[in-house]
């Protein structure tokens, strides 16, 4: 997992609370930030991404990049790129889609299933880990790991 200087833990009890947490995270993001969204299928990675999108004023236009692999949202203040690497087999396929060409463009980058990208994920990426609590349908524990303080 690497080591992180700051850890923040949250519990949400419905979808909307996770959207709000994403919004609170989103306002703290800066151009160049990479945010890895980790957790099993259906834990809420796309939901928290939606909240980040709200903070960045993308709002209702955000959809899951399940089939597109990446959705690109151009913004005057710096683009937002939202990846879902689930369907890629591993680092070689991620490399072949020019993953690294999205970095260093001053964009904010969200990545679902970052494990597929292996070492192509920048070392200073923020990590958001989502887990169902006791198999509850709506309760999620969400842990954010960062190397800079995030006053969420």
Ligand X SMILES: Nc1ncnc2c1ncn2[C@@H]1O[C@H](COP(=O)(O)OP(=O)(O)OP(=O)(O)O)[C@@H](O)[C@H]1O
Residues that bind ligand X (CB under 6 A): 12-15, 17-18, 39, 41-47, 64, 84, 86, 112, 138, 140
For residue 92, count CB atoms less than 10 angstroms from its CB and return exposed for 0-12, middle for 13-18, buried for 19 or more: exposed
H runs (alpha helix) in the chain? 15-26, 45-55, 91-96
Partner touching 18 among ligand X, Mg ion, none, CB below 5 to 8 Å by kind: ligand X
Minimum Å gap between C-beta 134 and ligand X is 13
- Six-digit token string for 8: 């923040």
Partner touching 134 among Mg ion, ligand X, none, CB below 5 to 8 Å by kind: none
Q: Which residue has the tokens 């070492």?
A: 119
20 vs 78 by CB, closer to ligand X: 20
Minimum Å gap between C-beta 32 and ligand X is 23
Minimum Å gap between C-beta 104 and Mg ion is 25
Minimum Å gap between C-beta 88 and ligand X is 13
Task: Give the three-state DSSP class for 120.
Answer: helix
Q: Which of 140, 145, 107 is nearest to 19 (CA)?
A: 140
Length of the chain: 152
Q: Which of 121, 55, 63 is nearest to 88 (CA)?
A: 121
Partner touching 140 among Mg ion, ligand X, none, CB below 5 to 8 Å by kind: ligand X
13 vs 27 by CB, closer to ligand X: 13
15 vs 78 by CB, closer to ligand X: 15
27 vs 133 by CB, closer to ligand X: 133
């Amino acid at each position: 997992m690497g080591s992180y200087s700051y850890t923040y833990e949250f519990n949400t009890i419905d979808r909307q609370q996770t959207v709000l947490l994403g919004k609170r995270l989103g306002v703290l993001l800066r151009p160049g930030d990479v945010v890895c969204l980790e957790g099993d299928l259906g834990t809420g990675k796309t939901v928290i991404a939606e909240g980040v999108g709200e903070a960045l004023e993308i709002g209702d236009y955000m959809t899951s990049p399940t089939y597109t692999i990446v959705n690109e949202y151009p913004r005057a203040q710096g683009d937002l790129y939202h990846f879902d690497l689930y369907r890629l087999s591993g680092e070689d396929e991620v490399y072949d889609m020019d993953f690294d060409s999205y970095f260093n463009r001053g964009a904010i980058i969200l990545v679902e299933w970052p494990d597929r990208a292996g070492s192509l994920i920048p070392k200073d990426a923020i990590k958001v880990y989502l887990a169902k609590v006791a198999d509850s349908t709506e309760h999620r524990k969400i842990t954010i790991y960062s190397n800079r303080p995030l006053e969420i």
